[in-house]
Each structure stands twice: as C-alpha cells, then as structure tokens.
C-alpha cells in the first residue's frame, strides 16, 4: 500500500512551470486551483476549463482528444476532482487515445473549500489506479527537478499517460462569487473560440 504521509511534495507553481515550459499547441483542460495558476503561466487560445462540473475535466479532455487525434491534449486534474469521476480512468484506458496526457495534482485535500482531507488521503495512489485501469504509461513525482528531467521521455511516448504530481496544499480557499443574472457561463464563452481555432487548423 502507498503511504503518502512522508512523500516529498513540490509547490504547485514549480510543477506547473515544468509543464508551461513544454507548452506549444496542445489543448489544455484545467480545473480547480491549478486552472487559475495555469492560465496565468500559459495563456493560450487553446486553454479550456472545467468550471462548475467538478470531476468532468478528464472526460471533457478525452472527447477533445478523440476528436483531434493529431493534436496533444493535456488535462490538469485535481485529486479530489478525479475521485468524483474515478471511473473515467477505465473510460480513458478503454478509448486509449495516444495523444492524451492526464496530470493529477495530488495535494491530498479539497483545497478550494478550505483544505479538508481527501478520502484515503494517506494512501490513495492515482498512478497505480491508472496502471490498473490500463493506461499506457504512469509516473509519479514529488520533486520538480526530477519531474523536469523525466517529462520529455514521457511526452515522447504514446499515451494515455497519467502523471501524478505530489504538491503542497496552498494556504488559501476559494469563495464563489454570485453570478449576475444573464451572465453567460464560463464554459459557453470558452469553447466556441477553441472549436473555431481547431476547425481553421
């Protein structure tokens, strides 16, 4: 059994920096805490976000990956989010998109609601789960330099690939603002430009 209590953890910033340095024309689906940080580090017209349907990032990314087999799709998922749609590991492995990279930010807590512990916080291991589901590659990193050294080889090989990144929880929580009536939801604003960019490609 995995023991997460003593595992080395990097900062979320350092983890995302490693990815941002490799960002080219990949479609990236972000969610939860990592999404805001990612959008600042890697602003791009091919960024999508899972906002308002926690757990849906992995399968939204899967649909995009299956529709765009010649373009890489990265999903930057949360551990709590993935727990909500754990069956998606089997769905993704079954569909087996070679262009699919699944990053799981493993901080062990529901950070946006005040860092309450994840169920099985001390044991849960998404890389082992993904391996058992049938992902082509899985890996785990708690050190940013080690992740930086290994990622190019992982990116070069066929997916689906799941990389579990152990990160330290941030000391903050997210407070939802009221949505004014008549506001177009974020996803409805976000995806048509991405679809248009892909259709013009």
Strands 116-117 and 109-110: antiparallel
CB of 84 to other proteins, least distance (A): 9
Select 131 or 146, whichever has its Cβ closest to other proteins.
131
115-148 b/e (C-beta count within 10 Å ≥ 16 → b):
beebeebeebbbbebbbebebbbbbbbbebeebb
Select 92 or 144, whichever has its Cβ closest to other proteins.
92
Select 150 or 197, whichever has its Cβ closest to other proteins.
197
CB of 27 to other proteins, least distance (A): 8
Q: Which of 64, 65, 33 is nearest to 51 (CA)?
A: 33
CB of 24 to other proteins, least distance (A): 18
CB of 1 to other proteins, least distance (A): 24
Which one-letter DSSP state was computed for residue 98?
Answer: T
Select 7 or 187, whichever has its Cβ closest to other proteins.
187
Binding site for other proteins (CB under 8 A): 48, 52-53, 55-56, 59-68, 85, 87-88, 90-91, 94-95, 185, 187-188, 191, 194-195, 198-199
CB of 170 to other proteins, least distance (A): 24
- Give 170-177's long-range contacts (Cβ < 8 A, gap of 24+): 170/12, 170/33, 170/107, 170/111, 171/115, 172/111, 173/111, 173/112, 173/113, 173/114, 173/115, 174/33, 174/111, 174/112, 174/113
Select 52 or 114, whichever has its Cβ closest to other proteins.
52
């Amino acid at each position: 059994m995995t023991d997460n209590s003593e595992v080395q953890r990097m900062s979320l910033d350092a983890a995302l920096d490693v990815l941002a340095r490799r960002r080219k024309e990949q479609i990236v689906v972000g969610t939860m805490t990592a999404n805001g940080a990612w959008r600042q580090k890697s602003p791009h017209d091919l960024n999508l976000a899972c906002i308002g349907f926690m757990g849906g990032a992995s399968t939204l990314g899967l649909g995009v990956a299956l529709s765009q087999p010649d373009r890489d799709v990265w999903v930057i998922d949360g551990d709590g989010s993935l727990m909500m749609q754990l069956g998606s590991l089997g769905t993704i492995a079954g569909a087996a998109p070679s262009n699919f990279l699944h990053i799981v930010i493993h901080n062990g807590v529901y950070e946006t609601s005040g860092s309450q512990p994840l169920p099985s916080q001390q044991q849960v291991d998404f890389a082992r789960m993904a391996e058992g589901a049938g992902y082509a590659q899985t890996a785990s990193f708690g050190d940013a330099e080690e992740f930086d050294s290994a990622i190019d080889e992982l990116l070069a090989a066929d997916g689906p690939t799941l990389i579990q990144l152990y990160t330290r929880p941030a000391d903050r929580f997210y407070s939802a603002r009221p949505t004014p009536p008549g506001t177009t939801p974020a996803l409805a604003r976000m995806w048509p430009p991405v679809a248009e960019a892909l259709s013009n490609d």
